Structure 1
Amino acid sequence: MNTKGFTLVETMVAITIITLAVAGPMFAASRAVVAAQGARYQLIASHLAQEGIEYVRLMRDNEYLATRPGGSHVSGDPWDNFLNGSSSYSGSIEQCRTKINSTNICTLDPVSAPTMCVGAVGACSLQVCPGGTCTVPLYLTAGGIYTQQSAGNTKTVFTRTIQTYSPTAVDERIDSKVSWNFHGTTYLVTVSDHLTQWQ
Structure 2
Amino acid sequence: MKLKIKKYSKGFTLVESLVAIGILSLSIAATFTAVQAGLKTSIAAKDQITAFYLAQEALEYVKNIRDENALHALNGTATWLTGLSAISTDPCYFGKICRIDVGQSSVSECTLGTGTCPNLNKDSTSGLYGYSSGTTWSTTSFNREIQLTSVSADSITVTIRVRWVSGGSNKTFTVNGLVFNRQ
TM-score relative to the length of structure 1? 0.75
Matching of residue 158 in structure 1 with residue 142 in structure 2: yes
Per-residue deviation, 1:18: 0.9
What code does the residue aligned with 2:120 have?
Answer: L
- Report percent identity of matched pairs: 27
Give the strand-richer structure, 1 or 2: 2
Q: Note the 1:7-22 alignment, pairs <5 A.
A: 7=14, 9-22=15-28
Cα distance in 1 for residues equivalent to 2:56 and 2:81: 24
Change beyond 3 A, Cα 1:80–1:17: closer
Q: Which residue of 2 aligns with 1:193?
A: 177
Q: Note the 1:123-134 alignment, pairs <5 A.
A: 124-134=106-116
Q: Which residue of 2 aligns with 1:6?
A: 13
Give the helix-richer structure, 1 or 2: 1
Cα distance in 2 for residues equivalent to 1:40 and 1:22: 27
**Structural RMSD (CA):** 2.5
Cα distance in 1 for residues equivalent to 2:23 and 2:53: 46
- Return 5+ residue gaps in structure 1 as ranges: 87-91, 113-120
What code does the residue aligned with 2:119 have?
Answer: P
Cα distance in 1 for residues equivalent to 2:110 and 2:70: 24
Q: Which residue of 1 aligns with 2:102?
A: 110
Matching of residue 62 in structure 1 with residue 68 in structure 2: yes
Query: Is contact 2:86–2:93 with CA below 8 Å preserved after alignment?
Result: no
SS in 1 for 2:141: coil
Q: Which residue of 1 aligns with 2:3?
A: none
Query: Is contact 2:70–2:79 with CA below 8 Å preserved after alignment?
Result: yes
- Return 5+ residue gaps in structure 2 as ranges: 1-6
Change beyond 3 A, Cα 1:150–1:80: closer
1:123-147 per-position Cα deviation (integer Å, ceiling 9, x unaligned): x433323234425221111112111
Cα distance in 1 for residues equivalent to 2:179 and 2:41: 35
Query: Is contact 1:107–1:134 with CA below 8 Å preserved after alignment?
Result: no
